[in-house]
Amino acid sequence: MDDIRPGDRPEHLTIAVASMSEPLEIPDDEVADFERARSDLRELTDELGWNVDEESPGHDDAIRSLVAIRRYLPGLVTEAQELLPYGNAVRTLADFEISEDLDLTADPVEALRFGVLGTVLFEPLILALRKLAHVDRNRANPSATWARPEVNRTTAQTADHHLDGGIGSS
């Protein structure tokens, strides 16, 4: 922390969040699955226009999650574009949490605290709210069965449109 000075780029925030991610270890017999997930994640983040790379916090976690989804729910996610509604949803949260006028360089220690506590405290809340939203959707239509809708550009844009009116929008 002593190396952090006001005005420094908040790389320490990235390092702190990265410390909460597990490094990617690929079993020899699953290399193809992980490479496919890596390729799809790159395609997804490119489509979303995100400025991230393989060293970004969460990158390896996303790959690991995509491999698990494909292993335990085969056929559910067959191409990167099917993940666009998820990417758009979390981008809405990120835009709400990190406003354009937030200056993470003004107080590096506060920025570090913000990043760590925000991740540790809000990720469980986000997951819990998602579960509650699922309950609400199910109760609104009790005869419905869980199924992934066909996702295409129109569906992804529709999901993005619905999110535009959500938390943090003006």
The domain spans of the chain are 11-164
Alpha carbon dihedral 19, 21, 22, 28, in 10-degree steps, equals -130
Please write the tens of the pLDDT for every residue from 113-165: 777 777 788 889 999 999 999 999 999 987 876 665 554 444 344 444 444 44
pTM: 0.68
Which of the two residues, 167 and 10, has the higher pLDDT score? 10
Q: Which residue has the tokens 């239509």?
A: 141
Pick left, alpha or beta for residue 166 (phi over 0 → left; psi -120 to 50 → alpha; otherwise beta).
Answer: beta
Cβ neighbours around 105 below 10 Å, total: 15
- Beta strands (DSSP E) in the chain are none
Task: Give the pLDDT confidence score for residue 1 in this predicted structure.
Answer: 44
Say how many CA atoms lie within 13 Å of 36 toward its Cβ.
14
CB 118 within 8 A of CB 52: no
CA 34 – CA 64 distance, rounded (Å): 7
